Amino acid sequence: MARILLIQHMYHPEGEALLRAGSEMEVEVLSEDTLAALLPQLADAEAIIARTPARVGADTITAAPRLRVISTSGYGTDNIDIPAATAAGVVVVNNPGSAENSVAEHAVALVLGLAKKLTWSDAAVRAGRPWDFRRGFEAIELKGRTLGVIGFGRIGREVARKLHEGFGMEVVAYDPLLDVATLVPWARRAPSVEELLPQADVVTIHCALTSETRRLFDERRLSLMRRGALLINTARGPVVDEAALAAALRTGALGGAGIDVYESEPPAAGNPLFELDSVILTAHTAGLTVESARQLALSAATQVLAALDGVRPTNLVNPEVWERRRGAAGALVER
């Protein structure tokens, strides 16, 4: 009987139901990702599904000699030690595409909320403050303004498409992996982040967290943004230096920020962004709708079951492990 460990419940119960449907599967749900909490279950574990922000580090992988597959709960894989998994011959899968529209809609909602000062207006009405539209309100129109997109993959392109086609924004994109030949005709390509930032009224972040993108938006780069510009982050928290962002917002150098992800999650009580009314904060929920939660859970469950059954999963993060296995066993099934 294969033991599957879930670090936190899956986003939707149908995912867990699919895992439990097989008579040869034993599913254990754990609430902590520490080695001490996991250790009693790791000796027999053949699969782990880790829901962000739970981490699967090298120590966890080493303590699980029967481990064959690790799945993320979504697209990002920065919570898994990929080199350690690869060295141990453990397949890692992620779940791209399932939350693409959900994240894009959330990013657009943050842009609109900031541009139209929705939280300011809501607070004014609830508190009975004077409706002085010359002070504090200062909503803007998006039509004709420039959207800067950092990371022009599926989510970045979808955010850009919605804001270009729906609201008339101009689009400039930066992505080091972007092939200029495949750039959509209504978007311009920036050769660097530094050249994009001064052009944009709104900047939305959709890049993965890597050693190159960690603190990508530091004090220096934030200072390159247009005065009064808006910053949206639905990617990964450590891409933005929160202290530097808070300082730029306090001085009015930036007009507002929409933040769904944080340097540490959940953010500490003293986070400097909490005190600023020019910020909209959400709880890492951009990718979670009723529809996307179900798709993410079913995708993770389906891929884990496939890997355990010797069938190549759809979204391999480290495909070289699968190729090594196939070469060693000569009997793995390909779709």
DSSP 211-249: TTTTT-B-HHHHHTSPTTEEEEE-S-GGGB-HHHHHHHH
For the chain, domain boundaries: 2-98+290-329, 100-281
% of residues, the chain, pLDDT over 70: 95
What is the predicted pLDDT for the residue at 96?
Answer: 87
pLDDT at 155 over 80: yes
Catalytic site includes residue 334: no
21 CB neighbour count, 10 Å cutoff: 10
Which residues does residue 91 pair with via DSSP β-bridges, in sequence order? 69
| The pLDDT value given to residue 98 | 78
Note the pLDDT of residue 183.
85
Which token pair is 189? 């390509």
Considering the candidates 157, 284, 312, 325, report the single residue annotated as catalytic: 284
State yes or no: is 236 an active-site residue: yes
The active-site residue, picked from 141, 165, 194, 265, is: 265
Neighbour-count burial of 47, counting CB atoms closer than 10 A to its CB (0-12 exposed, 13-18 middle, 19+ buried): buried
Q: Sheet containing 146-150: give its strands across.
A: 187-189, 170-174, 146-150, 202-205, 229-233, 254-259, 279-281
Q: What CA–CA distance (Å, rounded) separates 172 from 75?
A: 24
Q: Does domain 100-281 have CATH number 3.40.1280.10?
A: no
Render pLDDT for 293-335 as a digit per residue (tens, 0 to 9): 999 999 999 999 999 999 999 999 999 999 987 666 554 444 3
Residue 83 pairs in a beta bridge with none
Q: Which of 236, 242, 312, 325 is catalytic?
A: 236
Domain 2-98+290-329 and domain 100-281 have a common topology? yes
Q: What is the pLDDT of residues 186-209, one digit of tens each?
A: 999 999 999 999 999 999 999 999
Please name the fold of domain 2-98+290-329: Rossmann fold (3.40.50)
Contacts of 138 (CB under 8 A, 6+ apart): 117
